[in-house]
């Protein structure tokens, strides 16, 4: 047999099955990362449109669209209950979340008294009807923040880095209300770290609501602007 024919057969020989599987896994992993990035970007832009659209009716439609997008993306992979954070935390997680939330509540109250501010600082507070609405909204925010954004960021950056990246996303949504942006960055780091450790959004939603209502009760509307963000803050 000619030397050229032997050389051609050697080059054209099929790759070993293990090499093919490794190559396919790399391609699949790269496609998965692009898909996850696309989900994060689309969801974040939809939320930003819901915050910054000029007309209230348009903002409401974008907010509804953002909710549908997040839920769809969160469930499309058929994730486990634990991945979504829909299970209950253990005793350690429960005590830590409630303890930190209560401590923050007391500190804000004492600080408000120390600077001589009235409590509540907002004459419209407390409004139990709005408080219940805010508690539901806080739980919805935790689902969006943890069950969608954190799980995606964890897949892209790793567990520890995802805490910082997700908290930054959370704070960015509250621009240009810099007081609220600062508190949401700090709170976001706490929420994401608790989710990373204990994988439950229920107590996080409760603590989130308590802290938000505490801010409303202790920080004057002239600084907090009634928790408004985006175009609502500017107007």
Contacting residues for 148 by C-beta, under 8 A, at least 6 apart: 43, 70, 73, 74
Q: Are 33 and 156 spatial neighbours (Cβ–Cβ below 8 Å)?
A: yes
pLDDT at position 8:
46
Instruction: Give pLDDT, residue 216.
Output: 84
In a domain, 7, yes or no: no
What residues make up the domain containing 83? 13-234
CB atoms under 10 Å from CB of 42, counted, come to: 14
Cα–Cα distance measured from residue 71 to residue 63, given in angstroms and rounded to the nearest whole number = 12
1 occurs within a structural domain: no
For 195, residues 6+ apart whose C-beta sits below 8 A from its C-beta are 85, 142, 146, 150, 201, 204
pLDDT at 72: 96
- Does a structural domain hold residue 4? no
DSSP state of 14: P
Token pair of 58, please? 């348009």
Task: Show the tokens assigned to 193.
Answer: 């770290």
Looking up tokens 């929420």 gives: 191
Q: Tell me the C-alpha distance between 147 and 187, whole Å.
A: 17
Q: Within a domain: residue 3?
A: no
The reply to whether 2 falls in a domain is no
Query: What is the number of domains present in the chain?
Result: 1
CA 221 to chain centre: 25
Cα–Cα dist 215/212, whole Å: 5
Series of mean pLDDT values for 10-residue runs along the chain (235 residues): 51 57 65 95 97 93 96 93 91 89 86 72 67 90 97 96 97 95 95 95 93 86 85 87
125 is a domain residue: yes
Tokens of 186: 């700090």
**Inside any domain, residue 113:** yes
Helices within 53-78 (DSSP H only): 56-75
Establish if 5 belongs to a structural domain.
no
């Amino acid at each position: 047999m000619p030397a050229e024919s032997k050389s051609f057969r050697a080059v054209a020989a099929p790759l070993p099955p293990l090499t093919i599987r490794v190559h396919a896994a790399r391609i699949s992993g790269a496609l998965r990362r692009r898909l996850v990035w696309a989900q994060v970007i689309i969801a974040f832009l939809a939320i930003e449109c819901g915050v910054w659209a000029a007309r209230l009716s348009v903002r409401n439609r974008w907010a509804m669209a953002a909710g549908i997008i997040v839920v769809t993306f969160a469930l499309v992979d058929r994730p486990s209950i634990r991945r979504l954070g829909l299970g209950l935390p253990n005793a350690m997680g429960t005590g830590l979340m409630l303890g930190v939330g209560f401590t923050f509540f007391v500190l804000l109250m004492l600080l408000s008294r120390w600077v001589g501010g009235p409590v509540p600082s907002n004459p419209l507070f407390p409004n139990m009807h709005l408080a219940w609405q805010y508690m539901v909204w806080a739980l919805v925010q935790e689902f969006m923040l943890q069950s969608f954004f954190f799980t995606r960021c964890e897949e892209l950056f790793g567990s520890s880095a995802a805490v910082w990246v997700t908290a930054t996303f959370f704070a960015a949504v509250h621009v240009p209300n810099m007081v609220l942006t600062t508190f949401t960055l700090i709170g976001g780091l706490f929420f994401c770290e608790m989710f990373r450790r204990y994988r439950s959004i229920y107590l996080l939603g409760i603590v989130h609501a308590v802290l938000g209502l505490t801010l409303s009760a202790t920080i004057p509307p002239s600084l907090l602007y009634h928790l408004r963000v985006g175009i609502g803050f500017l107007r």
